[in-house]
Amino acid sequence: MPIKNHFPTAQLLNIHEQYFMIDCGEGAQMQLKRYGFSMLKINHIFISHIHGDHTFGLFGLISTMSMLGRSVDLHIYAPALLEEILHSHLHYFGKHITHKIVFHAVNTDDSTLIFENNAITVHAIPLKHRVPAAGFLFREKKTPPNENKKKIIKKKKKKNNIILF
């Protein structure tokens, strides 16, 4: 239930300027605007389970993204039931959507890799709840150190064979 100065769950995770939303409760758009985040930068939304306080903001967010001219695919990761709900909503209210919505059903029974790119992996982890639910484990991949061999050799010569980093 909405309460003054309290919003249902929605988190925005920034990993190397890639934005991931976890859950999308009612009021998510207002909070994004309040804190100056562009909703068009969000390309992946992860929904933990099908309760209104985790999903009611999703439909408005999709619509607003479209009104802002979104053309890039939006990926939604959620328990399978949300796909039917989303299709039904889009049937009645989504005729104007300008971007493709790619739905990924999340396995709520076993830990599963559901997303990977050059910077991170995301696993769905089963949770115990009244309805099928999953948590999301985001892991950054190790990146090789940024080494400039010419600078290292230069520093080595200047400091009597002591390498400074």
Active-site residues, by number, are 53
Instruction: Fill in the DSSP letter of residue 75.
Output: E
Both tokens assigned to 12: 């925005």
- Characterize the bridge pairing of strands 74-78 and 42-46: parallel
- Which of 58-86 are b and which e, b meaning 16 or more Cβ less than 10 Å from the residue's Cβ? bbbbbbebbeeebeeebbbbbbeebeeeb
